[in-house]
Amino acid sequence: MFWQTLVGRVVYRAEGGMRVLQNAHYRWLQFSDSAIQTLVKRKTPHKPVMRYLEAFSLAARLFQGSTCVLGAGGGALLHFLAHEHPDMPLLAIERCPEVLELAHTYFALNTLTTTRVLQADAFDFLKKTKESFDHLLVDLANADGLPAACYQETFFNDCKRVLNENGILALNLSTPEYHQALLEPLRAVFGEVLNIPIRGCANIIIFASRERRILSLLNHAQFSAYFKRIEWVESVGWVGWC
């Protein structure tokens, strides 16, 4: 629960339980009574509210390039990226047409005129697309965590295929109890990774690089300056504390 959402009224409710709520300052999208998918400031949706967004988008913001987001949701991440880099080639994939409709109606996704939004299944998109990207951000979690397909080597091979030579993969894991299960296939495909536990919430952000460039990232002054401490942990790889 976020303190910003303690008081709010429902402005949209779907039969399946999806809701949009708001108060004087914030608007949010819930997939269930407890899971908040998107939370934005109503007047300034480009200013991140959810704690994980800054870390999740760190590489894409520092090393600007073509970026694909799997899981558009309400568009909080898209607003943040588009505001930071208006000229960034940005593509968002969202499977659920109702979520996209809500993102346009209640979360001003239609104002991001330079952002391409495609209604498609993320896993099918990865297998079929002929595009390649400098950054691939995976934000596919629902109330139950990441889909089961995300825990397979085939998924990470598909991710690797669409990344450019120096491309960077970022994943948002909202269920830390499955952290180790995700790392096994991820490290099998990408080698070493950087894990970023987000203070004050359950999320863990994980970075991997197509050419196993994690050490290069950690040696980059602007990137490493984001962290208070970076250490090696044998069971998970590099860990950045922020």
The pTM assigned to this predicted structure is 0.95
- Count of structural domains within the chain: 1
**Burial of 51 from C-beta contacts in 10 A (0-12 / 13-18 / 19+):** middle
pLDDT of residue 33: 62
How much of the chain, in percent, has pLDDT values that exceed 90? Answer: 82
Instruction: Kindly state the average pLDDT of the residues 9-25.
Output: 92
Q: How confident is the model at residue 53 (pLDDT cuts 50, 70, 90)?
A: very high
In a domain, 2, yes or no: no
Instruction: Kindly state the average pLDDT of the residues 227-231.
Output: 96
In a domain, 30, yes or no: no
Domain CATH code at residue 53: 3.40.50.150
pLDDT of residue 189: 96
Other CB atoms within a 10 A radius of the CB of residue 28 amount to: 24
Residues forming beta bridges with residue 40, ordered by sequence position: 27
pLDDT of residue 143: 67
In a domain, 173, yes or no: yes
Euclidean distance between CA atoms 46 and 117, whole angstroms = 17
In a domain, 236, yes or no: yes
In a domain, 72, yes or no: yes
pLDDT of residue 17: 83
Render pLDDT for 138-156 as a digit per residue (tens, 0 to 9): 999 876 789 999 999 999 9
